[in-house]
Amino acid sequence: MFSILNMKFDFDSLFPTTTHPKICEKNGFGGKKFAPVRKWSKKADKYPCKSSRFYSAPFHARNNALSIGRKLYNLALKAKLSDEPLEFTFGGEEGKTSVDFLKYNNKTNPEKTLRAQNDFLSLINNKAPAFQAYALLGLALHTVQDYFAHAVRVDLFCARNNYYFFEGFIPVSEYKNIPVYEVDELIGVSNNDIEDNIRVMSWRYNAACRLTSALSEMWKSNREIDSLTAEPTGSVKFYKRTKGLLSRKKFWTIAYKEYGCEINKTSV
């Protein structure tokens, strides 16, 4: 069985890093005013925000990416509407704003994990509220965009003789309900090939754009988000891929459904 804890799967290459500011720019966060937001949507893939072999940072394709993204967005809005800088903490000190949900997951090195987590905190503490707002918003956008790039779930089938759903299909292996970030590793191709390729299952890219655009509308009218969910919907579709030559040839089929996204907002 493959698990999200398996170290060999990466969490941060994602869509190519430059895709994030592009999605922001085209979907409501264009222009000079939002330049810092676009910058931070990219900074999510730099230290101390990126994941490493030592730890998993919260801004990428964790399974709860939509929940993390929603909370980041709401914090960004709180900073936007605040006259004073917010003081963030991983603890529960009174008068400070808890960012408990952003705790880093240790993979192999607790000291490095803690250091990166604290370095992140010092990036956003003691800064002007406008800075805090744009930084957190950029990270929020990166996080929810990553969800569609990497965390959405698919079924993967492999056969020696034919593609799934065709006559004479003899399955060799099947992996049910796995996140997209595991697919490239199982097939044995690079992440750029399938997972980070916005042309493969391009609905993922389009969903990231639509959600970014919806968030920009809410941001501009100062609305908080109550809930943000996405579920597979519609009919099953297939992406097919062969790998290997002659007797080593394998026929891979990804079976997937597109995800529909739902945002519930607090009215002002």
Where does this chain bind Zn ion (CB under 5 A)? 12, 14, 60, 146
**Comparing C-alpha atoms, which of 53, 67, 77, 14 is closest to residue 205?**
14
Q: Closest approach of Cβ 17 to Zn ion, in Å?
A: 8
> What distance in Å separates the CA atoms of residue 85 and residue 254, rounded to the nearest whole number?
47
Q: Closest approach of Cβ 12 to Zn ion, in Å?
A: 5
CA distances from 11 to 24, 42, 49, 150, 235 (A): 20, 15, 12, 8, 28
* Inter-residue contact 13 to 191 (CB < 8 Å): yes
Q: Closest approach of Cβ 77 to Zn ion, in Å?
A: 21
Name the residue nearer to Zn ion (CB basis): 51 or 113: 51
Name the residue nearer to Zn ion (CB basis): 12 or 182: 12
Name the residue nearer to Zn ion (CB basis): 139 or 159: 139
Instruction: Please identify the residue of the shown chain whose CB is closest to the bound Zn ion.
Output: 60
On the CB side of 49, how many CA atoms lie within 13 Å of its CA?
A: 23
> What distance in Å separates the CA atoms of residue 24 and residue 119, rounded to the nearest whole number?
25
Name the residue nearer to Zn ion (CB basis): 140 or 159: 140
Q: Closest approach of Cβ 245 to Zn ion, in Å?
A: 34
